[in-house]
A and B are shown apart, each in its own frame.
Chain A
Amino acid sequence: MNAGVIERHDAESGNRRILVGLLLAYSVFWVWLAIDPLNRRDWLLENLLVLTLIPLLLLTYRRFEFSLTSYGLIGLFLILHAFGAHYTYAEVPFGFWLRDLGGLSRNPFDRIAHFAYGVLLVYPIRELLMRQTGLRGWWAYALPVCIVLAQSGFFEVLEAIVAMIVSPELGNIYLGTQGDEWDAQHDMAAALAGSILTMCIVFASSMLSKSKANSFPR
């Protein structure tokens, strides 16, 4: 019995070490991209998200600890977002390279980030819902997708408010519609597709290992 407790304790402190490592790595990366962004005000606006999300995760860590997988996925998304904030989404070099490669009419980096938002964040949302509410079965697949779509829509609403009220000029940079009248709908559809993709993968893996994958420790 004692050995079990010690083992569990070791695993926990191991997890914690990895998390601290993740956080440090991200901080270094974030500071590096914070030094000379293309547009300081847009950078600040974009980083409101990061500056709320990370403190929130830290403050709630004791009450609710996500799995390492979830923290890793959130970290990946934040790295993408840091790039977008540094260059402003419409002018990320990688996006230009993709545009030229694929003969696209616009820089697709923001669309990729919206898609990544769905792919990467639907899993932590699912974990939160399942462990907090005991959601099971197909609800546990449908509702996370719905929440991703809802947050995506909420984000588009926020963007619109920023663009209309705060500063129409900054709004255009922040918004990055790049002249597409269906931009909001395309962005939401990208997030929706991304979240459905991840849920399919989770579903497939839970089919393969029936007992394990579908259960988070409560």
Chain B
Amino acid sequence: MQVDRRTLVSAGLLVWYVAVSVWLAQAPADPQFWLIASILPALFVVVLIATYRHLPMSPASYGLITAFLTLHTIGVHYTYAEVPVGLWMDQVLHLGRNHFDRIVHFSFGFLLAYPMEELFRLSASVQGWVVYYLPVMTVLGLSGLWEIIESWVASAVHPELGVTYLGSQGDIWDAQKDMAAALYGALLCVSILLVVRALRGARSELQTEIAE
């Protein structure tokens, strides 16, 4: 059986993710939160494996997805408000709160907009400006869905804590800021994509000119 590069990279990423997950599954700071917050990523990975054959994505996409899931796994292990890197940033830059969760929201947009773009381009055969518009809207839509689910979980698990549960860190605008962070991330990713493609297009035009 021949093993191509894509399969190798994907398998490597999966091994990395499983290893990190198993390692960080030991003694999480809040076992209940760890369990709740691990359900969605686990399902997501299962879906990715199940669709690997008939909806293959590029190694770059799988890499970006793995990077995001790794960040999430770290956040879930410590609970987002207590991640050491975030605490350290708070001390050094005097931010007033642990910004690790905001960073992960931003990464959600920044890292996952490209896989979405690829998905729409390849499987829904979307073309033109919509290729850039849809990933941004999907990121924002899923962020909104995430905030809704968070609110349900918070109401179900700790109704007496209200918004203070699930890492709002006492900020009434937490949900809005999280969604905005994801939006900025997606916009940045899409902008980079546009610039890279414009440059690549210009270069290939130049090359054909030289060749002529």
What residues of chain A have their CB less than 8 Å away from a CB belonging to chain B?
129, 132-136, 139, 143, 145-154, 156-157, 159-160, 163-164, 181-182, 184-186, 188-189, 192
Contact = CB atoms under 8 A, between A and B. Distances in A.
Contact of A133 (B126, B141, B150): B126
A133 B127 contact: yes
15 contacts: A133-B130, A134-B125, A134-B127, A143-B138, A145-B141, A149-B141, A150-B140, A151-B137, A153-B147, A156-B176, A157-B183, A164-B173, A185-B150, A192-B144, A192-B145
Interface residues of B, number: 34
Secondary structure of the A contact surface, majority rule: helix
A154 B148 contact: no
Contacts of A188: 144-145, 147-148
B176 A139 contact: no
Interface string B67-110: 00000000000000000000000000000000000000000000
Contacts of B144: 149-150, 152-153, 156, 188, 192
Contacts of B137: 143, 146-147, 150-151
Contacts of A135: 124, 126
B130 A129 contact: yes
A160 B145 contact: no
Nearest to A139: B124
Contacts of B155: 182
A160 B125 CA distance: 36
Contacts of A146: 137-138, 141-142
